[in-house]
Amino acid sequence: MRVSIFSRYIAKSLLTFFAGVVGILTFVIFMNHFIKVLDMAMTYGTSFGWIVSSLLNILPDVFCLSAPMAFQIAILLTLTNMSEQGELIALRAAGFSFKEMVRPLLICAIILSMLLVVMNNWLTPRSYRKFINRKEEAYSKITKVTLEPKTFLNLGDWDLYLDELDSHSGAARMIHLVNKNDSGALSTKVNASSGKIILTDTAVGLQLKDGQMQRVADKDPGSIIAANFDNYTMSISLLKARNRRLRVGEMTTSKLLRRLHKDPLTDKVANEYRSAISMRNVLALSPLILLFVSCPIAFSLGKRTNKGWGMLWSVIIIFSFYLLMTLGLSLGKKYVWISYPGPWLPLAVGLVIGHWLWKKRLNI
């Protein structure tokens, strides 16, 4: 019974700190993306739905980045707070061992790691791919189009000029269109005395009346093809064709493994794939190793320790962890033989240091 009550107490304390810290870290990281997305929306004239969809798709990636750091900080804040209140000494006097104290923290770490394994390897890459697709959708749009009379408006391959325009009905007079990128022609011009302009998010529709089309041949500039028309309907797309390759972060681990086994890849690309797979799982398992290193430090700080020391040690441990992971990732991308094990460097170092701390500092 006493173990059950204690486990609930320490787990509740840990989750309280974790929720607060992960909320703050997620907000800070998320705001950086929010500013970029909002700036893109203003530049390219995207809709409110595009903004919401983009931000929702980036949230899993932000959580996976902030959760290990938040868990590390929560561990030390929980234990230093208990030390400051004298609760650790009381628990030791009541017969609780260090391992019993760590058990509820370990359960929380295992649950978080399992969640991060699923998210890092499958859910986050899919959400990130949707986010990149939304960005490409914005990039492919020319700009936010504002039709104004007596102004040349660039619409990709076409330049549009309107002498008169009724902004409410879309009725226009003296419409001139010039295409300078027509394949096989120096230029293509379309002139109409009147017509109607229909503007959507993806295209500009034109219903032209009483006009003429002229086309100057590329090989023979002196040859001009002209045709008169009474009614002519055309559409100018506001989307640019963009071909792109999938980034590593957009592909699930399963897809990366399939490409490694089936597709002919250069050593550089193969190393990048292997290192990315390892890094995802290192980040997912990081709560376990951070717990293993943090607990003996917190237990040995003493009763006079306050939460400020917990924050200081958290910064040191997190900085060291990501420094070692970056080093291992860089080595993995450079050398084939270390592409898989390279990113695991912080876990290996953490196990050695954690084992030493448990043995020497706590005599376990």
- Residues 90/94/99/100 CA torsion (nearest 10 deg): -110
Record the tokens describing residue 230, joined without a space: 């009474």
Domain map of the chain by residue range? Answer: 2-140+246-361, 153-237
Nearest to 19 by CA among 78, 102, 59: 78
Which stretches does DSSP call E strand in 90-184?
153-155, 158-165, 171-179
191 Cβ neighbours under 8 A, 6+ residues apart: 175, 176, 177, 211, 212, 213, 214
Record the tokens describing residue 246, joined without a space: 């999938």
Nearest to 142 by CA among 131, 153, 129: 153
Distance between CA atoms of 322 and 331, rounded to whole angstroms?
Answer: 14
User: pTM for this structure?
Assistant: 0.77
364 residues of the chain, pLDDT tens digit each? 455 788 888 999 999 999 999 999 999 999 988 998 888 888 777 778 888 999 999 999 999 999 999 999 999 999 888 888 888 888 888 888 888 889 999 999 999 999 999 999 999 999 999 998 888 777 766 556 777 888 888 777 788 888 998 888 889 999 998 887 776 677 788 999 999 988 876 788 889 999 998 887 766 666 778 889 899 898 887 766 566 788 999 999 999 999 999 888 899 999 999 999 999 999 999 999 999 999 988 887 765 556 677 788 889 999 999 999 999 999 999 999 999 999 999 999 999 999 998 887 666 5
The label of the residue with tokens 């379309």 reads: 190
